[in-house]
Amino acid sequence: MAIDVQPAVSPYLIVDGAAAAIDFYVAAFDAEELGRVPGPDGKLVNAAVRINGSVVMLNDDFPEMTCGTSMTPTSLGGTPVTIHLTVTDVERWFQRAVDAGATVIAPLEDQFWGDRYGVLQDPFGHMWSMGQPMREVSPEEIAAAMSEMSES
């Protein structure tokens, strides 16, 4: 029988304490744990959760597999990647994540592109933005707002 392959793009997060990260994502983002594969030492070699309908994969840090370099955002001094969640109740989603231990990087505010939007950092150093579309905004309105921002 052929395997039904569903094309997808899934972020793959490296964290210190993947089991704790799963617990955080369940509490913060109402994630559904899909599975985990522990190694002989108990560290997670692979795990997956579903957040807001999408799969996010993760594992513990294994510097021995990356030429001795730790690959967590904390060890690297940050991350250039932000994972974005489009949601229908951004106030509830944002507050739930804060209550679970996320740090507010940018508070929720109405943005010129039409979203109510904010940015959080999870306890493992990964960045998450959340947005709820609130109004339709034309390309001309966006261009005018960008121009206004560059003038100030």
* Crossing angle of helices 90-100 and 18-29, rounded to 10°: 150
Q: Which two tokens stand for residue 57?
A: 């994969």
What's residue 76's pLDDT?
95
Q: What are the E-state strand segments in the chain? A: 12-15, 32-38, 44-51, 54-60, 82-86, 103-110, 115-121, 127-133
Fill in the DSSP letter of residue 28: H
**Amino acid sitting at position 101:** G
Q: Does residue 21 contact residue 124 with C-beta atoms inside 8 Å?
A: yes
Give 12-151's CATH code, choosing from 3.40.50.1820, 3.10.180.10, 1.10.3720.10, 1.20.1440.230: 3.10.180.10
pTM of the complete model: 0.92
Q: What is the pLDDT of residues 130-152, one digit of tens each?
A: 999 999 999 999 999 999 888 87
- Domain range annotation of the chain: 12-151
Once rounded to an integer, what is the mean pLDDT over residues 27-39?
98
Share of residues in the chain with pLDDT > 90 (%): 92
Q: What is the pLDDT of residues 4-25, one digit of tens each?
A: 998 899 999 999 999 999 999 9
What's residue 137's pLDDT?
93
What's residue 63's pLDDT?
94
What's residue 139's pLDDT?
92
Q: Which residue has the tokens 């599975």?
A: 35
Whether residue 83 is predicted with pLDDT greater than 90 in this model: the reply is yes
Q: What is the pLDDT of residues 84-141, one digit of tens each?
A: 999 999 999 999 999 999 999 999 999 999 999 999 999 999 999 999 999 999 999 9
Q: Which two tokens stand for residue 36?
A: 């985990």
